[in-house]
Structure 1
Amino acid sequence: MTTHIAATPRDLAKAERHDALLREAARLFAARGFDGVSLEDLGAAVGITGPAVYRHFRSKRALLGAILLRASEDLLAGGRRVREEDDDPHRCLRDLIDFHVDFAVTDAEVIRVHDRELATLSDDDRHRVRRLQREYVELWIGVLQRVHPDRTENDLRLRAHAGFGLINSTPYSVRALREIPEDAEVHDILSDMAYAALAAH
């Protein structure tokens, strides 16, 4: 029999601070770049001193790695859930697009950090992120293959990467518009456009 030990208030507070650091670091790194953010900036964003960040992450680079690894792991896990829940290829593709658009709209700052700072990661973290991303791309290719059984693997791979380009680049680029659309509007436009492009013969 497994004994479950209830988390103490201190444990819960530490977990909340850990998650807050991930959120605020993504925001700051997206806005200023990795080198433009100090430990003091990170600590101040969550109400602690700069050195106290080391209680949660061994270094600023480890914090960057945690942000990008969590995003990559969440995408792969969510994509697998979508694939397992949908038998119809077109519905599966649509749901997979909706899932990825949700991520892109909600976590646009993480995408910007990835685009700008992937090379800044430690070698181990960068290899892990890339491995997870390759698995996620292969998942998409598997779904696209069911929608387009007559297409070559190169064709499907190009479609997948083109879909990512459309979805990932838009949520943070629209912030430059004079009138910023609602997230729900951005989501619907991106989802419809991506599906039309990826399902087209």
Structure 2
Amino acid sequence: MTLEQQADPATPSAASTPPKRRSRRDEILEIAVGLFAARGYHGVSMDDIGSAAGVTGPALYHHFAGKEAMLVAALIPVSEGLLAGGRERVARHPGEAALASLVEFHVDFALANPAVIALHLHELDRMPEDPRRQIRRLQRLYVEEWVKVLTRIRPELTAPEARVLAHAAFGLMNSTPFLGGEVNRERLADLLRVATMAALRDTA
């Protein structure tokens, strides 16, 4: 998952910091995620992934033991990154600013990772029990960061009510795998942020 880097006077600028080169493993994983999202987990073989990545069978298995390992490697870091990013934003911002920061953070993630979202929606149940339970736990903790903020700025909400709103917001923001390319990214981000904030605010 790509987390936005926050500007800091003590941090070297992007212009002076060379971008980190992606590993071959990361490149293969990105190709596998795209294939899984497009064709479904069972519609893709290791040979398909190797062919798309230009990697022979033995070299591919050097990086991953199999498709299950790729699924785990794709989804657990995403859940960990969302939780870490959500907690950081809640800790840094007071009141409604925390909600706006969470929405911006998640919309940026959703726009950058539609294939990962599609993979999560359709293939999570195919994972082995232990990593699946780990992902579910990380997701619950991430939801609770949203619940914490919503009940703080809207004290009339109970925690279960705030949880309903948080999941509804995720439905809006995680719609990116199903959106066409008719609207440019910047405008799409604006639309998703505005729609999500409207769904979460008390407008009655």
**CA offset digits 1:143-198 (Å, max 9, x no partner):** 111111121112111111110111112x12112xxx62111111110001101110
Report the TM-score when normalising by structure 1.
0.87
Using the TM superposition, give the Cα deviation of residue 42 of structure 1 relative to its aligned residue in structure 2, in angstroms.
1.2
Percentage of pairs with the same residue: 43
**CA offset digits 1:82-110 (Å, max 9, x no partner):** 112112x1111001000000111110111
DSSP 3-state at the match of 1:181: coil
Partner amino acid, structure 2, of 1:147:
I
Report the TM-score when normalising by structure 2.
0.85
TM alignment of 1:11-30, pairs within 5 A: 16-30=23-37
Q: Which residue of 1 aligns with 2:46?
A: 39
Q: Does 2:102 align with 1:99?
A: no
Q: Does 2:125 align with 1:119?
A: yes
Partner amino acid, structure 1, of 2:197:
Y
- Once residues 46 and 74 of structure 1 are traced to their aligned partners in structure 2, the CA distance between those partners, rounded to angstroms, is 25
TM alignment of 1:24-173, pairs within 5 A: 24-87=31-94, 89-169=95-175, 171-173=176-178
Number of positions where the alignment pairs a residue of Structure 1 with one of Structure 2: 184
Partner amino acid, structure 2, of 1:173:
F
- Once residues 50 and 184 of structure 1 are traced to their aligned partners in structure 2, the CA distance between those partners, rounded to angstroms, is 40
Q: Which residue of 1 aligns with 2:191?
A: 189
DSSP 3-state at the match of 2:179: helix
Q: Which residue of 2 aligns with 1:6?
A: none
- Once residues 156 and 146 of structure 1 are traced to their aligned partners in structure 2, the CA distance between those partners, rounded to angstroms, is 10
Using the TM superposition, give the Cα deviation of residue 50 of structure 1 relative to its aligned residue in structure 2, in angstroms.
2.8
Structure 2 unpaired stretches of 5+: 1-19
Structure 1 unpaired stretches of 5+: 1-11
Q: Which residue of 1 aligns with 2:6?
A: none
DSSP 3-state at the match of 1:190: helix
**CA offset digits 1:23-56 (Å, max 9, x no partner):** 1111110100111111112122222113322111
**Quick check: 1:17–1:46 contact (8 Å CA) kept in 2?**
no
Q: Which residue of 2 aligns with 1:180?
A: 182
- Once residues 166 and 49 of structure 1 are traced to their aligned partners in structure 2, the CA distance between those partners, rounded to angstroms, is 40
- Once residues 61 and 72 of structure 1 are traced to their aligned partners in structure 2, the CA distance between those partners, rounded to angstroms, is 17
**Quick check: 2:154–2:202 contact (8 Å CA) kept in 1?**
no
**Quick check: 1:79–1:136 contact (8 Å CA) kept in 2?**
yes
Point out the structure with the larger helix share.
Answer: 1
